[in-house]
């Protein structure tokens, strides 16, 4: 494939896919280790009402109100889960299940009640995203990467997701030691004076930001998959957190690239005419990677577990 | 590609809403099954589904595996798509409900086995396994959905309905499948309820009694899968989880007995299904699945607030009552020792009970009660230093009346040890 075709049509979706995947996989490592992996699932469900309410209030589909709405919904959900857990003395999994299904149902209902026929807002979009449509129309080839005028026409999602990725990297870089210590031994972290509650909340907030930013570009299904699958696969490869994160970033990037390519060109190779959903394909590839890691990864067993029960 | 896809899911009402009658009348009609053949079918089907989901979900909730249902429900999507493609390839209609449900059951079962394998044979915790099965199966299902879209225009109509449920144009045969499925699930639960209760409460004990815990767990998940598959048509695969989680949590507020939780949960689920389906039929643009979930959540919220013992209101009232007792007790002790009381709440409580005037001076009655309180405190002191009263002393919390712990004779004995007033000139 030549640069004239690749750069405008595939480069930006590919980059957005990779950035989103890595931005979700980074906090995902800690969430998986802390047994909070399903927070990504919950967040991706609850942002729907937030986005719909933001649309109802502003009347337009634009990025900032939606991001704010989604973030607000995520916070409401966290507060509700905590309230139900404490007031009702309900186990966290069930409390989460109550909240995210209810908020998602509320979002769907609001969506059905409002006239969104003139704008592009529906549940399917929220689930699958529209990675394929994030093309860079101003580009004519590789040379456009140096062309200021063409660069101005880059999809805004690219900048947002890149900023989110940078933010996630910065968070993990800055809080590396406290994060690592509190993830493995919360009691020890407390005795060292690390504010584990605040740190845990900050991690969830970073995850929520990554989820909301990626959600806008690639849909919730990738978000859930990328929070869990690459870190889980990386967990089977090594016993060291540093290496696990490196593996997970690699897996996330491979899933995004391979998934996008397979979705775009795979059907053509098989003789079909149309591409399939890139978001779905990326999730599928990450699942295949996880399956391979679970079967052949060097550290797939629990430490100290009997070889075969 | 995705943009082209704008299904209308909420047409369940359109057939009847030609005459714009008053919505409230419509709702009453719907609740009384007067809104037409189709609405009646949907309401009965949804009620049956709610009952079986509520009952099944209880065991899942007690086993603390509520979110496993999320993985199972999302894992149905590839099966639905593959079943559709196979039926079309064989020259069929592709929308045969039995075929689609069989496909969904098969892929949910595969998802469940993957989940079990991941948690048992790898180091992954259950939540990570749930999340990975959920997202991967659902992602693959989405890929297949887009494949189906390219197979032939218009023919895929209806498959998206499985995401959020669609009761529009439900046929008698479909409703029968749902009713029979719900009934069969209930029957199975009735047979398996004792081993399942045992396993949910104490798997180790169950294993020690010789029960095949792994297989009972799998059977429990199989029931969850059955409910999910039956519910696909009405509430859709994303929201069916709510019917499995919310009613048991609701029921748990009202009782401490597992058999009653099961019954109440079935009741809550049935009510949500029935009322939700009726409401959705009574006005336009009220999709069935979300309405059922929201009705269910309303029941949950009411229970959380109002339930006796475990409810939030009961907890607040209990706390206030405790606070009043502590303040009264401390106030009486202060009165007895002649200490001034500055604390407002204590003063208010004392004066409301007629024990003290508003300025904190004890009334006649108040002095008597204060003296009694001080004497009780002294009695407790003796009890707590005496090894013979060890069991009673363990119950001391600063509030308990000593008469509820010791007999009259014992108290008299203690009083004898304390003796009469000392160092007071006669």
Question: Which of residues 59 through 98 in chain B touch A, CB cutoff 8 A?
Answer: 61, 64-67, 69-70
Name the burial class of residue A87, with classes exposed (0-12), middle (13-18) and buried (19+) by CB atoms within 10 angstroms of its CB: middle
Residue of B nearest to A87 (CA): B312
Contact A277 B294 (CB under 8 A): no
- Which residues, in sequence order, are bridge partners of residue B58? none
Q: pLDDT per position in chain B (426 positions), as tens?
A: 333 333 444 444 444 444 445 666 666 776 676 667 777 778 888 888 899 899 999 998 988 888 888 899 999 999 988 998 888 888 777 677 888 889 999 999 999 999 989 988 888 888 899 999 999 999 999 888 888 877 765 555 567 777 777 766 667 777 788 778 888 888 888 888 888 888 888 889 999 999 898 888 888 888 888 888 888 888 888 888 999 999 999 999 999 888 899 999 999 999 999 998 888 888 777 888 889 999 999 999 999 998 888 888 888 899 999 999 999 888 888 888 888 888 888 888 888 888 888 887 888 888 888 888 888 888 888 888 888 888 888 888 878 888 888 888 888 888 888 887 777 665
Report the gap between the CA of A283 and the closest CA in chain B (Å). 5
Counting Cα atoms < 13 Å in the Cβ hemisphere of A203 gives 31
What's the rounded Cα separation, in Å, for the pair B209 and A298? Answer: 37
Residue A273 lies in a domain: no
* ipTM for the complex shown: 0.89
What's the rounded Cα separation, in Å, for the pair B313 and B317? Answer: 6
More confident residue, B13 or A129: A129
For an interface test with B, give the residue of A35, A91, A97 to mutate (most B CBs within 10 A): A97
3-state SS assignment for residue A198: helix
pLDDT of residue B282: 80
pLDDT of residue B10: 41
Kindly list the residues from chain A whose CB atom is less than 8 angstroms away from the CB atom of residue B135.
Answer: 41, 221, 224-225, 228-229, 283, 286-287
**What number of residues does chain A have?**
309
- The radius of gyration of chain B from alpha carbons, rounded to an integer in Å, stands at 31
- The radius of gyration of chain A from alpha carbons, rounded to an integer in Å, stands at 20
Among the residues of B169-257, which ranges form H helices? 172-201, 203-208, 213-252
Question: Which of residues 281 through 320 in chain B touch A, CB cutoff 8 A?
Answer: 285-287, 289-291, 293-294, 297, 300, 304, 310, 312, 315
Beta strands in B100-140 (DSSP E): none
- In this prediction, residue A1 has a pLDDT band, given cuts at 50, 70 and 90, of low
Give the CATH fold of the B11-308 domain: ABC transporter involved in vitamin B12 uptake, BtuC (1.10.3470)
Tell me how crowded residue A275 is: count the other CB atoms within 10 A of its CB: 20
CA distances in angstroms from B202 to A91, B15, B85, B196, B277, listed in the order given: 16, 51, 44, 10, 37
Which residue pairs, CB below 8 angstroms and at least 24 apart, start in B263-268?
B265/B54, B265/B55, B265/B57, B265/B58, B266/B50, B266/B51, B266/B52, B266/B54, B266/B55, B266/B58, B267/B51, B267/B54, B268/B50, B268/B54, B268/B296, B268/B299
CA angle A141, A142, A147 (to 5 degrees): 90
B249 close to A (CB below 8 A): yes
The CATH number covering residue A101 comes to: 1.10.3470.10
- Which residues, in sequence order, are bridge partners of residue B356? B362
Longest Cα–Cα distance of chain B, Å, equals 112
Name the burial class of residue A169, with classes exposed (0-12), middle (13-18) and buried (19+) by CB atoms within 10 angstroms of its CB: middle
In the numeric block, the tokens 């959705």 are attached to B280
Which residue pairs, CB below 8 angstroms and at least 24 apart, start in A176-185?
A179/A30, A179/A203, A180/A241, A183/A30, A183/A33, A183/A34, A183/A241, A184/A33
- In this prediction, residue A309 has a pLDDT band, given cuts at 50, 70 and 90, of very low
Phi, psi of B75 (to 5 degrees): -70, -5
Contact (CB, 8 A) for A97 and B66: yes
Contact (CB, 8 A) for A128 and A139: no
Q: In chain A, how many domains are there?
A: 1
Report the gap between the CA of B417 and the closest CA in chain A (Å). 46
Longest Cα–Cα distance of chain A, Å, equals 63
Contact A97 B1 (CB under 8 A): no
Contact (CB, 8 A) for B335 and B366: yes
Contact A108 B287 (CB under 8 A): yes
Residue of B nearest to A41 (CA): B131
Domain boundaries, chain B: 11-308, 313-418
Contact B2 A91 (CB under 8 A): no
Q: Which helix (H) or strand (E) holds A108?
A: helix A92-113
What's the rounded Cα separation, in Å, for the pair B361 and B86? Answer: 89
What's the rounded Cα separation, in Å, for the pair A20 and A284? Answer: 16
Kindly list the residues from chain A whose CB atom is less than 8 angstroms away from the CB atom of residue B138.
Answer: 221, 224, 280, 283
**What are the structure tokens assigned to B99, written together?**
């075929």
Q: Which helix (H) or strand (E) holds A262?
A: helix A241-269
Region A146-164: mean pLDDT is 79
What's the rounded Cα separation, in Å, for the pair B100 and A168? Answer: 42
* Average pLDDT of every residue of chain B: 83
CA distances in angstroms from B311 to A46, A96, A171, B257, B269, listed in the order given: 25, 18, 40, 16, 19
**A8-17, A119-128, A287-296, B36-45: the lowest-pLDDT one:** A119-128
pLDDT of residue B6: 38
């Amino acid at each position: 494939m030549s640069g004239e075709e690749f750069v405008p049509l595939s480069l930006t979706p590919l980059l957005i896919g990779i950035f989103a995947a890595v931005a979700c996989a980074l906090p995902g490592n800690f969430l998986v280790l802390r047994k909070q992996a399903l927070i990504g699932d919950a967040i991706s469900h609850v942002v729907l009402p937030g986005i719909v309410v933001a649309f109802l209030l502003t009347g337009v589909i634009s990025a900032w109100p939606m991001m704010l709405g989604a973030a607000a919904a995520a916070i409401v959900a966290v507060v509700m889960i905590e309230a139900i857990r404490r007031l009702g003395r309900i186990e966290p999994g069930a409390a989460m299940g109550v909240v995210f299904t209810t908020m998602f149902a509320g979002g769907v209902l609001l969506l059905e009640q409002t006239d969104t026929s003139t704008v592009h807002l529906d549940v399917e979009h929220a689930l699958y995203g529209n990675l394929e449509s994030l093309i860079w129309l101003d580009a004519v080839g590789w040379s456009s990467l140096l062309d200021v005028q063409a660069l101005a026409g880059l999809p805004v999602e690219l900048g947002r997701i890149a900023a989110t990725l940078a933010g996630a990297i910065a968070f993990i870089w800055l809080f590396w030691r406290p994060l690592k210590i509190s993830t493995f031994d919360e009691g020890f972290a407390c005795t060292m004076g690390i504010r584990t509650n605040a740190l845990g909340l900050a991690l969830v907030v970073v995850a929520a930001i990554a989820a909301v930013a990626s959600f806008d570009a690639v849909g919730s299904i990738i978000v859930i998959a990328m929070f869990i699958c690459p870190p889980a696969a990386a967990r089977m490869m090594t016993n060291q957190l540093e290496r696990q994160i490196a593996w997970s970033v690699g897996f996330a990037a491979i899933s995004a690239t391979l998934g996008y390519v397979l979705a775009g060109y795979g059907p053509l190779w098989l003789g079909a005419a149309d591409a399939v959903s890139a978001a779905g394909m990326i999730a599928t590839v990450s699942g295949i990677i996880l399956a391979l890691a679970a079967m052949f990864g060097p550290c797939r067993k629990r430490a100290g577990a009997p070889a075969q029960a | 590609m995705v943009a082209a896809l704008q299904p209308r899911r909420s047409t369940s009402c359109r057939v009847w809403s030609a005459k714009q009658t008053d919505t409230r009348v419509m709702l009453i009609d719907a609740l009384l099954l007067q809104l037409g053949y189709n609405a009646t079918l949907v309401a009965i089907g949804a009620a049956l589904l709610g009952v079986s989901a509520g009952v099944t979900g209880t065991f899942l909730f007690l086993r603390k595996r509520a979110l496993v249902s999320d993985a199972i429900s999302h894992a149905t999507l590839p099966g639905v798509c593959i079943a559709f493609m196979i039926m079309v390839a064989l020259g069929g209609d592709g929308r045969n409900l039995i075929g689609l449900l069989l496909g969904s059951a098969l892929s949910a079962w595969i998802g469940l086995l993957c989940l079990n394998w991941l948690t048992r044979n790898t180091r992954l915790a259950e939540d990570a396994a749930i999340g990975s099965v959920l997202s991967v199966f659902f992602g693959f299902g989405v890929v297949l959905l887009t494949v189906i879209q390219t197979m032939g225009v218009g023919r895929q109509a209806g498959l998206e309905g499985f995401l959020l449920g669609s009761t529009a144009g439900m046929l008698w045969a479909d409703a029968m499948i749902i009713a029979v499925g719900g009934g069969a699930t209930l029957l199975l639960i009735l047979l398996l309820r004792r081993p399942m209760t045992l396993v949910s409460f104490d798997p180790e004990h169950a294993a020690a009694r010789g029960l095949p815990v792994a297989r009972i767990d799998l059977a429990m998940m199989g029931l969850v899968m059955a409910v999910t598959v039956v519910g696909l048509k009405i509430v859709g695969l994303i929201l069916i989880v709510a019917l499995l989680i919310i009613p048991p949590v609701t029921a748990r507020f009202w009782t401490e007995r597992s058999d009653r939780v099961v019954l109440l949960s079935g009741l809550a689920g049935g009510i949500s299904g029935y009322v939700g389906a009726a409401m959705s039929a009574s006005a336009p643009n009220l999709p069935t699945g979300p309405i059922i979930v929201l009705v269910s959540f309303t029941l949950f919220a009411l229970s959380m607030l109002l339930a006796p013992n475990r409810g939030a209101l009961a907890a607040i009232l209990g706390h206030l009552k405790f606070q009043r007792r502590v303040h009264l007790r401390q106030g009486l002790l202060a009165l007895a020792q002649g200490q001034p009381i500055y604390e407002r709440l204590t003063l208010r409580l004392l004066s409301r009970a007629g024990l003290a005037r508003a300025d904190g001076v004890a009334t006649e009655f108040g002095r008597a009660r204060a003296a009694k309180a001080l004497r009780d405190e002294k009695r407790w002191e003796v009890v707590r230093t005496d090894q013979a009263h060890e069991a009673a002393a363990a119950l001391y919390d600063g509030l308990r009346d000593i008469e509820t712990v010791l007999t009259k004779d014992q108290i008299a004995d203690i009083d004898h040890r304390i003796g009469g007033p000392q160092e007071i000139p006669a």
